[in-house]
Amino acid sequence: LTPPRHRPVDSRIYPRFAGVRTFMRLPHLRDLEGLDAAAVGIPFDTATSFRPGARFGPEAVRSASALLRPYHPAFGVDVLASISVADYGDLPVAPGDTVGTYRRIEEGLAPLVDAGVFPLVIGGDHSITLAELRALAVRHGPMALVHLDAHTDTWDEYFDQRYFHGTTFKRAAEEGLVEPAASVQAGMRGSLFGASDLEDARALGFEVIPSEQLRALGPDAYARTVRARVGDRPAFLSFDIDFLDPAFAPGTGTPEVAGFSTAEAVALLRSLRGIRLVGCDVVEVAPPYDGPGQPTATAAANVALDLLALRALSK
C-alpha cells in the first residue's frame, strides 16, 4: 500500500497567495501516521543576545514558503512525491523561560522522534537546537553535526546563563548529543571577543572552517571534508540564517558582513547529497529586520526545501 503523499493546496485552484499559511501550504496535521517528515515551528527568541524577533520566524518562513513548488530541478526530484510531508504547527514555548521551553520542545518533539518522522524545524533563535538534539539523541545517540553559521555558538555562558543562543553547541557536546569528531562547523567570521572563541570550538573536537577558508574550498572540497567526518552516522544539519551575508539575509539577530550568497549556500547544501540526515533546522530568521520583500524569509524557505530534498534523497 502506498503511504499517503500530502500535496500543497492546488495552485490551479488556490493561487499561491491564497489560503492559511502552512509550510508550503501543506496540511496542518498533528496525526503522524504515514508521515515521513514534518515542518515544525519553534517560535522562541528569549535566548537572543542582540536583536530579538525570531519568535516570528516560523510565521515568516511559512508565509514565504507559499512560493515554493514541490519539484527540485537541481536534484531532479519531486520532493513531496518522494516523502510524505505535513506542517505539524508550532511547539509550545514559554517566552522568558529558556529551560522551561527546552522541556516543552523535548516533549513536543518526542512523538515525532518516536514515530520516525523527520523534523524540519523552523526557529526561533539558535538556543532551541539543544532541545532538538536532546529529543533526537534519545533515538539516534550522539549525532554528527553539520553546522553552517557565522558563529560557532560554543561559549560557556552568557549573563550567568548556561543556556543561550551562543552556548548551544558547547552544551550539545558536553551532553553527548553530538559527536564533535564527526562534526563540521563552517562559515565562521566576524570580530570576536578573543582568539579563544574559535579555539574553544576546536578544543571541543569540532572541525571549524572559517568563511574565507570555506569560500576557498568550494562545494566539492567542503562536501569531501564533511563526508570524511560524518560517514554513515546519523547527522543533524543546523542552518543559521546568518551564514548568509546581510545583503541576502538582513533579517537576523547578529548579522556578520562578508557572508555567503544564497547561490553559494545552496551549492554547499546540494553538495551534501547522500548524508544521512535525521533532523535539521533553519534558525535565527528575525522578520522585524527583514526587508519589505522579505528576502530573509524567502531564503530560509528555500533552504528548508533543500533540506527536505536532502532527506528525500537519503532515504
Of 281-310, which residues contact its own copies (CB under 8 A)? 288-295, 298-299, 302, 305
Q: In angstroms, what CA-CA distances link 278 with 90, 205, 273, 293, 295?
A: 19, 21, 14, 32, 28
Q: Which is nearer to its own copies, 176 or 288 (CB)?
A: 288
Amino acid at 21: R
d(CA 298, CA 313): 23
Among 3, 4, 15, 231, binds its own copies (CB under 8 A): 15
Per-residue exposure over 188-212, b if at least 16 CB sit within 10 Å of its own CB, e if not: bbbeeeeeebbebbeebebbbbbbe
Q: Which is nearer to its own copies, 49 or 225 (CB)?
A: 49
Any contact of residue 105 with its own copies (CB under 8 A)?
A: no
Q: And the C-alpha cell for 199? A: 579555539
Q: Which is nearer to its own copies, 5 or 51 (CB)?
A: 51
Beta carbon of residue 10, minimum distance to its own copies (angstroms, whole number)? 9
Any contact of residue 118 with its own copies (CB under 8 A)?
A: no
Any contact of residue 30 with its own copies (CB under 8 A)?
A: no
Among 3, 4, 31, 67, binds its own copies (CB under 8 A): 67
Amino acid at 139: R
Beta carbon of residue 281, minimum distance to its own copies (angstroms, whole number)? 16
Element (H, E) at 269: helix 262-270
Any contact of residue 51 with its own copies (CB under 8 A)?
A: yes
Among 43, 119, 142, 180, binds its own copies (CB under 8 A): 43
Q: In angstroms, what CA-CA distances link 23 with 73, 99, 285?
A: 20, 27, 15
Per-residue exposure over 229-263, b if at least 16 CB sit within 10 Å of its own CB, e if not: bbeebbbbbbbbbbbbbbebbbbbbbbbeebbebe
Q: Which of residues 134-173 bind its own copies (CB under 8 A)?
A: 158-161, 164
Any contact of residue 89 with its own copies (CB under 8 A)?
A: yes
Any contact of residue 251 with its own copies (CB under 8 A)?
A: yes
Any contact of residue 69 with its own copies (CB under 8 A)?
A: yes
Beta carbon of residue 229, minimum distance to its own copies (angstroms, whole number)? 22
Among 5, 32, 34, 94, binds its own copies (CB under 8 A): 94
Q: Which of residues 183-222 bind its own copies (CB under 8 A)?
A: 188-195, 197-198, 210-212, 215
d(CA 315, CA 310): 9
Q: Are 1 and 80 in contact (CB under 8 A)?
A: no
Among 90, 149, 179, 207, binds its own copies (CB under 8 A): 90
Any contact of residue 129 with its own copies (CB under 8 A)?
A: no
Any contact of residue 248 with its own copies (CB under 8 A)?
A: yes
Residue 40 class from Cβ within 10 Å (0-12 exposed, 13-18 middle, 19+ buried)?
A: buried
Number of residues forming the site for its own copies (CB under 8 A):
101
Among 35, 61, 72, 240, binds its own copies (CB under 8 A): 72
Alpha carbons within 13 angstroms on the beta-carbon side of residue 244 total 30
Element (H, E) at 251: none
Could you give phi then psi for residue 212, rounded to 5 degrees? -60, -40
